[in-house]
Structure formats: structure tokens, C-alpha cells
Structure 1
């Protein structure tokens, strides 16, 4: 939800998200490409919602999925893609009379505090327009921000820059903030005298300078303002977000033996005193409680791991799974829609799907629950303190009673009562015969 303002000056964010991102070589809108499991538009909205009173998102035609995703914010459609200024102008009827900030959906790494600094800078006396700028080690194709006595006097595109101007490392990010009335006026004055015949929002700067308005450049880091226009830039943004997520986790008391090999989702929740070994992947909706140890090459999604459990190595924990306190889930064990009770051990080469397993039960190596009959899923319920021997096959629906024993190699198709011993295998027969070995 958007922020409720305590100020008499309303703040409005306009997010330009109409681009398809042809350089992404993808059929999906650029703004829907994920970073840490979250579409980049939502990553940006999460920060913008903390600062601005209202948010307007400018989309292109036939972007219904994206329109649904940005609800409840105001959506306007740019029917013809005629440039960034033209896109912002489609939202002009909703500007109001406060401060308007135009952002790009492909700049999803901007943080709340930077946006707040931008608004605060604009509210300073005799400041008419503020843009976000970054010091780039390699400016590449970014427009250079030219200043004089702390005021921006122009922005020069790389193709038009002199040799001296090309050496300037202060670059434009495309984020602009100004009073709504000025913004509306300048957007309508922008012309399209360029090779592409498009209306570029950055031309607002030259219009403001011509009117002797005060234009300032607010610095932020290059990694925070980096744009995403290709798959390689998307991967770079992913690396930045992963570094942020890892640092936040370690600051909260998580031990990572090799942080750069741990990959997290935007919503991963890890409590203190958790130990993460190298090469672990967290998908969406994972909660790890205090004292858990997760060993290498484990993949977890949609699950909760309770206190002091041990996971892995080479474990796969799938959605709708809860692993109880002090439980052990070992190498090449897969759990799906399964609740493991406290102290359960499933240490080797097993699959448990659509299952409930009671406290202190042992699941032998190679055990599987046959939960799918070709059309429907069925439940397996295993009681407390059960010993399931190796290579057991439990054909659901089936219930295994408390403190029962399932013999190794058994195929169990019927319920087993409490304290029973179940043998579901053929009797071994030994026959005497002479075997002749031929050379």
C-alpha cells in the first residue's frame, strides 16, 4: 500500500513501464523479469511505496498481466511508444499540484533512503528540479551531467559529447523530480527533433536551464542506479540484490561459510544462529528457524525448517513442507507437501510426498511414498517412533501406526496398526544348484 503523507505537499511517483525491452530477447515485458524471484517492477514498487503518497504506472498496450500485478496503483496506457517524455505525459492528468518524480521500471535497485533524499533535496528553497546522477567507472553510453558551481547546466549524450565531456564520469540515471505544474508545462514543450523522432524526458533539463531554473544533481551509487536493458544486465542486478540479501542475513546473525555461493529469494526469512554451508539455493517462501544447519547443494522452496534441524547435503525440500525441530534430512532426500515431526530422521535416498511423519520416526534409506496414482494424490500418515526399514515402498493412501516396524524391502498397501511388525515382501527361497563357469 502507498505511504500516507504527513506533509501538505503531496508526492507522486510516475513509473515508466511501457517498454517491451527488445534487447532482453524475451516475449514478456521487461518490467516482469524477476530479480531474486520478484518481478523488477515489484522490487521498485516496494521502495517507492514507502516514500510517495500516490503512484502512477505507465504501461504499453496489451500488458494486462503487468496491469494486474501493479494494482491497486493507478495505471495509464501509452498507446503509441513515442519516447519517455510522451510516456510521462500520459500520466499528466494525475499529477496533482505537489511534487512529481518520474522513474523507470528498469531501474529497480533504487532504495527508499535515496528516494527520500531526492524529495528532501527538491523541497529545499530555490530548487526547481533535481535529477539522480551516478559516478560511473565506465560511463559507456550514459549521458554526461555537466555542472557549474553545483548546478546542472546541461546533459550531453555520448554521441554529442566532446573529448573533454566524455571524460566526465557523472552520468544521468533518468530519474527526475520537479513541481507538478512545471513538469506538466515542460513535458508539453519537448520536441522530437532527433533521429528516432521520439520525445525524450531528459530534454526537461535544458528547458529548465533556459528558464534560469535551479537544477541540481543528487548523487547515488552506480550499482543502485544501474539500468537493466539486457539479460547480462539483469544478471548483474541479480548479483547486486543477492549481495544485499546475504549481508542483511549475516548482519542478523546468520553464518555463511561461502556467502557468494548462497542464493536467496526476496522473501527468504532466516533467524539467527543458522549455519549455511556453500552452494545452497532458497526459492520463494522459505522460513529457517534458529539453530538450523543446512549443508551443501541443498535446494529449498515453500517450506519451514524448525529449530536445530539439519538439512542436507544434497537435500531437496519442496513447497508445503515443514521439518520439525531436531529433525535430520540427509543426502538425496526429497520432501514435498510433507510434515516431519520433531526428531525424525530421513538420512538417505528417500522421497516423501503428501506425507505426515510423527515424532522420532526413522525413515530408512531408499524409502518412498507412492502418492500419485496417475490422476490423484494420496496421503501417507506415519505415526510416532516408527522404524521404516530400507527400500520400503508405502503405497498411499495408507497409515502406519505408532511404534510399528516396517521390514526392509516391504511394499505396504494396507494400514499397519500400532506396535505391529509389517512384512510386505516375498519369502526368500534358496535352491541348491551347481553353477558351471565357462571360459
Structure 2
């Protein structure tokens, strides 16, 4: 059976007090809307229509990689009106459509699958996702008949004394038969205090036509809608705990899960140990048997097996097996560090390749360079890659020794098996087997301190 989904993402989100559309605020490093889309996709649904409103262009820009289509809700006139705006998407389709809110980032793939399966197996016209809560104040109540079938949804303000006791609430996530939904949408009106079209009215219309409406109960936390910064923090905490639990169950040691922040798309190998106060985000993949010591940020990077990283930043780069990084190293985007290498304290690597077994131990900057294997960099080396207008490239061959306080002025090529004397400024090519010395001869001026009156 054909299945598709609508995601309502047109709300202004006034309570979150931001110029950014509410659904683009991030939870565990990913926009809420992307969380919802990914969960839908992972459940096997490919056709997704996102209903956008205020900030439509930036929402489209941020979700282009998700391969969705968009419908515009120019005016926010209620949830029923939002679904009406997807008429073009739903036209001539037969099958099932699920409707989600773009500000519910905690919805699980398994719950979406259960919602669809229950709807199809029971041949419902509509299926409502519901939750049981201790205090349902403010939520619509699910009223069932003696056969446990859904009779109606009653908004809190309209509940009678008995209905107020019901603790099964409407999460505003639904499945519908597409043709029945489209027909029912034509019959809803905005004759209410808010002057809005409510999607819940569709349930009553379908029931009045003799159709069956079902309900699937799920955990409340999955359906939490984020409408404020406080709720954003609550969602962050829930998802963080969920992610950390998954990694620990997969064989990763988290010394202190409460202070470990891991993005939802991060992959970590078994027997890796992660110390407190680390942020690992984006499409990062960390291998087996790694040690990630405290105070690191790793983003969109691939870390090999047996790597140790201490108090360092690694962005959009690759680090090979059994390499050590830090403390206080900065590996900037588009860098590749080889295997068994050493990137030490206060070292910055920018858009460079560092070969296997090369040691860059401390206080060094390497930018726009190709460095071979088994090289050694002395303290204070600088690859001078910028001439004030353009960036230039330096190439360093295998088994080269770069002495302390060396400047390599790009563009320059250093061949295999070369030595650069400490304190040199290299501006010309150094051939294989050569020692390059580029510094002025030392000259001592006798008695200069006393002549200048500086002797103490």
C-alpha cells in the first residue's frame, strides 16, 4: 500500500522568541525538523511534504538535502488549514498519509512503523497517536466507546466532568486514508473562537460517516512538542540520554554520560572510552579502542582505531589508526592525519595531509601542505602559506627533519630525506639528501651593553 507523510512546519513559534523558524532550532546538533524527517524516512516512507510558512525560504534551504517537497501555508489558520495547503501533494493519491508536527524531534522510527501498521491492519479511516499522562491538563482527551474504539476527541476546555478524568491525550499525530481525509477537509469550518480550521474536526466527520477511528498509545516523551527554550532544553536532555544509552549498550564506555554530548548521527566503535565534557557531533565516526580524553570537540570527522585525543578540536577531518592528538591541538577542516602519527600540544593543522608516522609535537602551524611519512617537526615551525592575498602550498617529502623555529615560505618543496637547520627561513626548493641552512651568521658586539648604559 502506498504511504506518504505530511510534516507541519509553518508555525511561527512566538514563545521560543527567535528570528529563526522554530523547527530549525537544534536538538543534539540537528534541526528538529530534520529529526522528524529522518525518523519518517527510516520507517520506510519516501514521499514527504513539508508545509512551510513564515521563514519558508530558510526552512527549504536547510532541508534541501532531505529530498522533500514543500507546500506553502501563507496564513496560519489552524492545523486543518495547514493540511488543506497540501492538496496539490495529496491530489489523486490513494493509500495512507501520516501527519506529524515539525517540532516533535523525539518521535521514534518504531512508533511511526507501529502507527502505520496498526492503521492498515485494522482498516481504519483514521488512527490517532495518543499518550497516557498523569496530568492531561490542556490536552484534548480521547473518548472511547465500550468496544475501546475512538468516539471523539474533546478539547480540554470543552470537557465535561467525566471527560476531565480521562488521561489519554491527543498527540496531534495521525494516520488517515488519503481519499477520506481530502473529502473530510472540504467539510471542516472555522466557526470557533479562534477562527481556525482544526484537524481534529476531521475525526468527528469521519465518525459521523460511519468510519472506524483507531488509536495507538505511545510514550509521552516521544510526542513532546517544543514551543519554548525550556522545552528545547528538556528535549535535548531526553535525546542525549537516549543516544548515550545506545552507545553504552553497543560497547562504548562513557565515564560520565551526564556531561557527554553525542550527536544523533555519530557512530562509535566498541571498547572506545569517552571521558567527561566531550562534544562529538555531525557525521562523525570513531573507531574501536579509542581514548577520547576530556574537553574535546569532534565534528564531522573520521577517527580510526586506537586513536587518543586529549583536549583538542577536530573539524571535518580524518585521523588515522593509532595516532595521538593533543593536548590543545586544533585540526581544521579538510585535513588528513595518517596512521601512527603524533599531533602534539598547541599544534594547528589546516587543510593539510600529514603522512604515517610523522611527528608534529608542539607549537607548530601547518597550513595548505602535503607532508610525507616519518617526518619530524621541531618546536615552533610555521608553514607560511599566506602572502597577504593568496594561499600557497608546501610539499614536504618522506623522512624529513624540520628544525625548531623554521619558517617554510610557500610555495616551496622539500624533498625526501632532507634536514632543515633550526631557525631557518626556507624560500627555495631543498633537494633530497641536503641540509638547508638559511640564517644570518652570528655576530657578537663586544661591550655593547655597557656602551649603551644598560649594564646593571
TM-score range, shorter chain: 0.7 to 0.9
Indicate the residue corresponding to 1:198 in structure 2.
Answer: 196
Distance 1:10 1:357, change over 3 A: same
Instruction: Output the CA distance in 2 between the equivalents of 1:369 and 1:274.
Output: 34
SS of the equivalent of 2:7 reads strand
Instruction: Output the CA distance in 2 between the equivalents of 1:38 and 1:216.
Output: 32
Equivalence map 1:260-279=2 (5 Å): 260-279=258-277
Instruction: Output the CA distance in 1 between the equivalents of 2:143 and 2:422.
Output: 77
Indicate the residue corresponding to 2:80 in structure 1.
Answer: 85
C-alpha distance after superposition, 1:212-263 (max 9, x if no partner): 5443331222332221222333333333343344344444443333333333
Q: Post-superposition, which runs of at least 4 consecutive aligned residues in structure 1 deviate over 6 A?
A: none
Query: How far has the Cα of 1:289 moved from its partner?
Result: 3.5
Distance 1:424 1:21, change over 3 A: farther
Match of 1:15 among 7, 32, 38: 7
SS of the equivalent of 2:351 reads strand
Distance 1:251 1:385, change over 3 A: farther
Q: Which sections of structure 1, spanning at least 5 residues, go unmatched?
A: 1-8
Higher mean alpha-carbon deviation, 187-196 vs 236-245, is at 236-245
SS of the equivalent of 1:23 reads helix
Indicate the residue corresponding to 1:382 in structure 2.
Answer: 396
Instruction: Output the CA distance in 2 between the equivalents of 1:253 and 1:144.
Output: 42
Counterpart check, 1:46 vs 2:60:
no
Q: Is residue 15–residue 56 contact of structure 1 (8 Å, CA) maintained in 2?
A: yes
Distance 1:173 1:290, change over 3 A: same
Indicate the residue corresponding to 2:240 in structure 1.
Answer: 242
Distance 1:358 1:241, change over 3 A: farther
Query: How far has the Cα of 1:137 moved from its partner?
Result: 5.6
Distance 1:113 1:59, change over 3 A: same
Give aligned pairs, total.
429
Counterpart check, 1:29 vs 2:32:
no
Higher mean alpha-carbon deviation, 106-115 vs 255-264, is at 255-264
Higher mean alpha-carbon deviation, 81-90 vs 404-413, is at 404-413
Query: How far has the Cα of 1:32 moved from its partner?
Result: 2.8
Q: Is residue 361–residue 379 contact of structure 2 (8 Å, CA) maintained in 1?
A: yes
Match of 1:59 among 18, 32, 52: 52
C-alpha distance after superposition, 1:405-425 (max 9, x if no partner): 333343333333333333344
Match of 1:370 among 374, 384, 399: 384
Instruction: Output the CA distance in 2 between the equivalents of 1:329 and 1:139.
Output: 55
Indicate the residue corresponding to 1:174 in structure 2.
Answer: 172
Instruction: Output the CA distance in 1 between the equivalents of 2:169 and 2:186.
Output: 25
Q: Which sections of structure 2, spanning at least 5 residues, go unmatched?
A: 297-312
Q: Is residue 334–residue 352 contact of structure 1 (8 Å, CA) maintained in 2?
A: yes
C-alpha distance after superposition, 1:142-177 (max 9, x if no partner): 334344553334434444456775665433221011
Indicate the residue corresponding to 1:127 in structure 2.
Answer: 124
Indicate the residue corresponding to 2:302 in structure 1.
Answer: none
C-alpha distance after superposition, 1:10-59 (max 9, x if no partner): 21211112223233323333333333443332322222124325322222
SS of the equivalent of 1:189 reads coil
Indicate the residue corresponding to 1:3 in structure 2.
Answer: none
Query: Please, what is the CA RMSD of the aligned residues?
Result: 2.9
Query: How far has the Cα of 1:61 moved from its partner?
Result: 6.4
Match of 1:142 among 139, 155, 158: 139
Indicate the residue corresponding to 2:326 in structure 1.
Answer: 312
SS of the equivalent of 2:74 reads coil
Instruction: Output the CA distance in 1 between the equivalents of 2:432 and 2:223.
Output: 63
Distance 1:351 1:243, change over 3 A: farther
Instruction: Output the CA distance in 2 between the equivalents of 1:90 and 1:131.
Output: 21
Indicate the residue corresponding to 1:399 in structure 2.
Answer: 413
TM-score by length of 1: 0.86
Q: Is residue 21–residue 54 contact of structure 2 (8 Å, CA) maintained in 1?
A: no
Indicate the residue corresponding to 2:254 in structure 1.
Answer: 256
Instruction: Output the CA distance in 1 between the equivalents of 2:268 and 2:234.
Output: 24
Higher mean alpha-carbon deviation, 253-262 vs 326-335, is at 253-262
Q: Is residue 133–residue 217 contact of structure 1 (8 Å, CA) maintained in 2?
A: yes
Distance 1:288 1:75, change over 3 A: same
C-alpha distance after superposition, 1:356-408 (max 9, x if no partner): 22212222333332222232221222222223333333222222232333333
